[in-house]
Amino acid sequence: MPNTAPVPTPQPLPDTQPEHLDPLQRRRRRIRSLAALAWLLMLSVITVSAFIRLSQSGVGCADWPVCYEQAAGHASAHPWLGLARATHRVTASAMLLVVLGLLVATGRRTPDLRHERRLALGVLLLTLWLAGLGALMRGASAPAVVLGNLLGGLATLALCGRLLVCGSDRTAPAPSLRRWAWWAMLLVFFQAAFGGLIDARHAASSCQHLSECADLARAAGWDWRVLSPWPAASAAGELAPQARGAWLHLLHRLGALLLVPVLATLAWKALRQGFTIPAIGVFVLLVLELTLGSLLAATGFPLPLALAHNLVAALLLTLLAGLA
């Protein structure tokens, strides 16, 4: 006799598929997709902006094409500079459009998306701030402009990273872990500020080793104008450029020594709470950032290493924002 057993009917897919999500879950998934795109665009903007700034062009070198003690006859614009500037402007414009779409996706009449809406509004305000600085940077060389652009970009990246995990199904970090993440983010921002001042004041070659920086700084004495992002109104009593750069190098490296135990403790706490991938990511990026910083000082601050140093700091900040 032929087999008359009933053919099993296919079972419906689990309700994790997009078509089985409720409207709020679909909107949150759309918001996270737009946030991921905004994050990628902002990371590109930060990287290209660092290339323009560090390649002895634009505001990164006030007396271009003479910079870092190189004569005009031996220093020329980087061959990729024109493409980099065009890429920077196109990517920044696309970023603004994506952020506007992100704000629209959060809506105004959904109380459950109130937190996402605030984050999206913060991203929009920071994007507009960066656009204003971009217009100002065409003729400005004040370290404050460089610093505002760098920290504004990192803050935008952190907010996008926060939006990536907002409303997800993951377990929320414990309050103690979030506090450690906030402290670590604050230290990373300070480290970025010191690095930005070193770059904006063309102080990369002021000193090489930590002991050399400490000796130069000790011999010159402390001057609060070292931390000022504005050009001094009067040069009377101001530290020499090398001594000022030595202080910035010293503060940047001491900040790195302080950041190591903070990030190590954060990674250990995250690992204990089940956040294995973020914990490993923080540890790996910390080791990579310390290695790149050491290589930068030992090899005379080549452009590829400087760009990698900026990129790793941005990735580290994104991980911390996801845990904060």
**What tens digit of pLDDT does each residue of 18-74 get?**
455 677 788 888 888 999 999 999 999 999 888 887 775 444 444 433 444 443 334
> DSSP readout, 31-85?
HHHHHHHHHHHHHHHHHHHHHHHHTT-GGG-TTTTS-TT--TTT----TTHHHHH
pLDDT of residue 61: 47
Helices 175-200, 303-323: inter-axial angle, 10-degree rounding? 160
- Residue pLDDT, tens place only, 172-230: 888 899 999 999 999 999 999 888 888 877 777 778 788 888 888 787 777 677 777 77
* Residue 317 near residue 159, CB atoms below 8 Å: no
Could you identify the residue written with the tokens 């996706």?
A: 105
Name the residue with higher pLDDT: 109 or 213: 213
